Amino acid sequence: MEFNNELKRASVVFSGEVTQLDTFTVVFRVEKVWKGEMAEEMSMSTGAIDNGNGTITTSDCDYNFNVGKNYLVYASGSSKTMQTFCVQWDKTNRHFCGTYKVS
């Protein structure tokens, strides 16, 4: 993954801690913004889909976020269809975590 290329393409880039998490939504407390404008809190879809019949669809691309962990998030597109990917952010462990729509 070329982070410099992703930085150029992204509308916003920020780091944040996951403060809330459920099956469908992850909420970040935004800590630092490198590009674009962000509120202090940002929520986005986990990628899971409610099928409306009591079942949920997930995919191999869905990422298992963890409350209390920090992530570096790159996002591009409009506010309603913004596509993002992120990496777990600490000094020893960085993980790619997929593509999501901002909620």
pTM here?
A: 0.69
d(CA 16, CA 21): 13
CB within 8 Å of 10: residues ≥ 6 apart: 35, 36, 74, 75, 76
CATH of domain 3-101: 2.40.50
CB within 8 Å of 39: residues ≥ 6 apart: 30
What tokens appear for 48 in the block?
């899971």
Task: Express each pLDDT in 9-32 by its tens digit.
Answer: 778 888 889 999 998 888 889 999
Task: Express each pLDDT in 28-69 by its tens digit.
Answer: 899 999 888 888 998 877 778 889 999 988 876 666 788 998
Selection from 40, 12, 54 nearest residue 23 by Cα = 54
